[in-house]
Amino acid sequence: MGMAATRRTRASSGNNVLLLLAIGLVFSAASTTTPAVAAAALNGSDDDIGAAARAAGLSVDFHAASCPDLDGIVRSAVEEARRWDAQVTAGLLRIFFHDCFPQGCDASILLGRNQGGSEQDAPQNTGLQQAALDLVERIRGRVHSRCGASVSCADILALATSHAVNQAGGPFIPMELGRSDSRGPAPGWAVNRLPPPTDGVSELLGNFGNRGLDGSDVVVLSGAHTVGVARCSSFQDRIDKKTGKDNFEWGLTGYCNGDKEKKHALDRTPFNFDNSYFVELQNGRGVLTSDQALYRDGRTRWLVDRCASSQDEFFKRFVESMLKLSRLRGADPGPVRNNCFVRASFGASSATKDDLVIDTTAGDGDGDEDLILAAAA
């Protein structure tokens, strides 16, 4: 298969579509909602989730014939990267969420700053982890060397994120494959959909609801903060409080001591994917405003308690929510890129010289600015 071959598509195996939950109806109840009522509202339908994958034309074996060694190549590359820097798990998670949420999972966030209009220039994407960005491109090179240009950067990012979570102690996410790479970056208005770290529960529910995600997704995807750190600038709103600070907030103020670039772990085990993040919320030690808000609001508190008491339940729900997120369709599908940082060349029979030059300015992260849901300013 030629280097510039466009990716094949698959017909949908069904005409079902995901029936999205009407977020305004589900969460119109007061914050004193009982756990039983809240659980009924937050729990989604497995049938709906399966229908979404079929409608998107995705499947776990999409590349089984064209690239049978794909999974092994990705897994070994992630293992190698984590031996050097365990924080690559947090880096991949943040990149994956920040890619999917604005306009779908299409690797648009990978396009480098020399490509014009790069999402990496947006303040929401400050500090994307360079090691994780480079890892995706390194995997692409190995995959295309073995299989030709048959696997998109979007699929490689999804699969690498799954393996990174699993290797950090979390569940394996059986990512369905078959995504297209975008032609260009997401527009600014789409990137602005990324939720800031100052959001409360109502804002989070509305924002996620607009993307077809529900309250359960808000809570369990926030659980990705069990790995990684945050710059002090990301919780400056808590430091700036003049009155009403609790002991933890006073501790954050003293820790940062005016240095907005200093970094604070988001839970007590920042290298392990576990449920300790939720225990921290129960103890009032959520670092970000958007994190601690989940325990202060009755609409989400019950699920924080469930995830804190059962890591198995958190893992199960996390897999379900990550699969829902991964099924958000790209808005501007194009051919497979010959370099994840560079727009694909259309109509070419082989890669151009520009396609083969790796863009070393793809991101300026220092490797440990790893917020997932919260878009640091």
Confidence of residue 38 (pLDDT cuts 50, 70, 90): very low
- 319 with 205, same domain: the answer is yes
pLDDT at position 41: 39
- 318 with 340, same domain: the answer is no
| pLDDT for residue 377 is more than 70 | no
Rounded Cα gap, residues 190 and 192, in angstroms: 5
Give how far Cα 218 sits from Cα of 204, 212, 372, Å: 7, 11, 12
- 111 with 225, same domain: the answer is no
Which among 103, 121, 226, 244 is positioned nearest to 164, based on CA atoms? 226
**Residue 183 CB neighbour total at 10 angstroms:** 18
In a domain, 50, yes or no: no
In a domain, 2, yes or no: no
Q: In this structure, what CATH number is given to the domain that contains residue 87?
A: 1.10.520.10
In a domain, 19, yes or no: no
pLDDT at position 327: 96
How long is the chain? 377
What is the pTM for the complete model shown?
0.79
- 145 with 177, same domain: the answer is yes
In a domain, 4, yes or no: no
Confidence of residue 117 (pLDDT cuts 50, 70, 90): confident
269 known member of a binding site: yes
Sequential DSSP letters for 301-331: HHHHHHHHH-HHHHHHHHHHHHHHHHTPPPS
- 343 with 292, same domain: the answer is no
Rounded Cα gap, residues 295 and 277, in angstroms: 11
Domain count, the chain: 2
106 known member of a binding site: yes
* Active-site annotation holder among 63, 98, 144, 163: 98
In a domain, 268, yes or no: yes
In a domain, 64, yes or no: no
6 known member of a binding site: no
| pLDDT for residue 372 is more than 80 | no
Rounded Cα gap, residues 374 and 197, in angstroms: 4
321 known member of a binding site: no
Cα 230 to chain centroid, rounded: 15
274 known member of a binding site: yes
Q: Which of 12-26, 147-161, 210-224, 336-350 has the lowest mean pLDDT?
A: 12-26
- 248 with 342, same domain: the answer is no
Rounded Cα gap, residues 61 and 251, in angstroms: 49
Confidence of residue 148 (pLDDT cuts 50, 70, 90): very high
CA dihedral of residues 112, 115, 119, 121 (deg, nearest 10): 80
| pLDDT for residue 360 is more than 70 | no
In a domain, 85, yes or no: yes
In a domain, 127, yes or no: yes
Task: Tell me the pLDDT tens digit for each residue of 306-328.
Answer: 999 999 999 999 999 999 999 99
Retrieve residue 105's tokens: 């999972």
pLDDT at position 56: 60
Q: In this structure, what CATH number is given to the domain that contains residue 205?
A: 1.10.420.10
The verdict on whether 98 is a catalytic residue reads: yes
* 16 contacts 51 by C-beta, under 8 angstroms: yes
- 343 with 311, same domain: the answer is no
Confidence of residue 29 (pLDDT cuts 50, 70, 90): very low
Q: How much is the average pLDDT of 282-302?
A: 97
| pLDDT for residue 347 is more than 50 | no
- 92 with 189, same domain: the answer is yes
Query: How many percent of the chain have pLDDT more than 90?
Result: 70
- 208 with 279, same domain: the answer is yes
- 163 with 77, same domain: the answer is yes
| pLDDT for residue 329 is more than 50 | yes
71 known member of a binding site: no
| pLDDT for residue 346 is more than 80 | no
- 242 with 93, same domain: the answer is no
Task: Tell me the pLDDT tens digit for each residue of 72-98.
Answer: 999 999 999 999 999 999 999 999 999
- 221 with 313, same domain: the answer is yes
212 known member of a binding site: no
| pLDDT for residue 17 is more than 50 | no
Residue with the bigger pLDDT between 96 and 350: it is 96
Residue numbers of the domain that contains 304: 201-324
267 known member of a binding site: yes
